[in-house]
Amino acid sequence: MMPLNILSHSVVKETTIQHGQLTGCRATSSPCPPLPQDFLWAGNGIFRSVTRTEFRAVALYHRVLTPGLIELSPQFQLLVSPVPREKVKDIIDEIRRYPDLEQLFYLYWRGECWEVFKPEQECTPYSCVCLDPYPEPAAIEIHSHGYANAFFSKTDNREETGCRISTVFGRTNRQLEVTSRVCIHGLFLNIDSNRIYQDINHYCHHVTDF
């Protein structure tokens, strides 16, 4: 992780967050009012909170105990509809169509529904390169691993520096499997793919603890 100077932060106290608007909320309970977008100094560590149109998330940045502040938990909340089952099926069909290749999909929330976009790409069994040099930033990025497992590689960790949901499809013994996480500017929070994709259980094993 890059060294970081925390220029501003909010302090999570029993009844208020200074510099924020969270009043009278036990931040460990959910749903809560939106936490301030920032670094949050809580009793059990420093967290980073982000909100964008499609989701809100809180991830641990650094574990440090500070008596007198309330504790936070990592949180994720999808703020729009999950990706509908027919679009999930389209993605799965496409992955099955080229089972030995890595593939890439971008998903955009268009105000009322999800748009699934498969950019121009150069695919091999071990890599997938988007040929569009300036793709519109997607709220969800999906890539498949061909016949390899569903996991986030070192390359994924290095490249996923933005704020979005990331999903990997892969295979174990030819059975499709899936894992998802929220990327928060270099922090990662594993999430249940069921919360993002309708009926994903019909197609996949889940491989991540969350």
- For 158-208, the DSSP string reads HH--SEEEEEEEEEETTEEEEEEEEEETTEEEEE-GGGTBTTGGGT-EE--
Structure letter (DSSP) for residue 16? B
Alpha-carbon span 167 to 173, nearest angstrom: 20
Residue closer to Zn ion by CB (options 156, 199) is 156
> In degrees, to the nearest 5, what angle opens at C-alpha 205 toward C-alphas 201 and 210?
90
Residue closer to Zn ion by CB (options 153, 172) is 153
Alpha-carbon span 166 to 159, nearest angstrom: 11
Residue closer to Zn ion by CB (options 94, 156) is 156
Alpha-carbon span 161 to 54, nearest angstrom: 18
Residue closer to Zn ion by CB (options 84, 186) is 186
Burial category of 92 from C-beta neighbours within 10 Å (exposed 0-12, middle 13-18, buried 19 and up): buried
Residue closer to Zn ion by CB (options 71, 156) is 156
Q: Provide the CA 195 distance to its chain's centre, in angstroms.
A: 11
Residues of this chain that interact with Zn ion (CB under 5 A) are: 153, 156
Residue 67 CB, nearest distance to Zn ion (Å)? 41
Phi, psi of 160, rounded to the nearest 5 degrees: -90, 75
Alpha-carbon span 150 to 97, nearest angstrom: 17
Residue closer to Zn ion by CB (options 153, 175) is 153
For residue 193 the two structure tokens come to 């793919």
